[in-house]
């Protein structure tokens, strides 16, 4: 026949104590700790700094938006800001679109 007969095997006897389960979980725990310090923690820190920067925006600040537009903050709202990109030209955008606050005098 083409199909061979499968024979059941008995399970190996468990090791003494719970050391084997602890040792098998150790690599997973170590990977999570490394993932936390390499990826998750820096990302949370950066998000916290971005929120603090957005909350500290003031009228007259020079900003760069996510689209690369440079301008000066003309009006502030709760969720939106108006950015003056040229004399008499203002665009309205969300506060979260601000990527960077420039030093005073950078944008003319």
**What DSSP string runs through 64-84?**
EETTS-EEEEEEE-SSEEEEE
Q: Is 106 exposed, middle or buried (0-12, 13-18, 19+ CB in 10 A)?
A: exposed
Q: What are phi and psi of 19, to 5 degrees?
A: -65, -35
For residue range 39-95, what is the model confidence (pLDDT) as tens digits?
A: 999 999 999 999 999 999 999 999 999 999 999 999 999 999 999 999 999 999 999
21-102 maps to CATH 2.120.10: no
pLDDT at 1 over 70: no
Q: What is the residue extent of each domain of the chain?
A: 21-102
The model carries a pTM of 0.69
The secondary element (H helix, E strand) that includes residue 31 is helix 19-35
């Amino acid at each position: 026949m083409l199909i061979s007969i499968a024979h059941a095997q008995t399970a190996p006897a468990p090791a003494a104590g719970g050391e084997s389960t602890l040792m098998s979980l150790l690599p997973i725990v170590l990977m999570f700790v490394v993932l936390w310090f390499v990826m998750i923690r820096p990302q949370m820190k950066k998000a916290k700094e971005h929120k603090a920067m957005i909350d500290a925006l003031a009228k007259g600040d020079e900003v760069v938006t996510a689209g690369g537009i440079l301008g000066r903050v003309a009006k502030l709202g709760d969720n939106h800001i108006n950015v003056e990109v040229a004399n008499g030209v203002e665009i309205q955008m969300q506060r979260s679109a601000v990527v960077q606050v420039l030093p005073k005098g950078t944008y003319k």
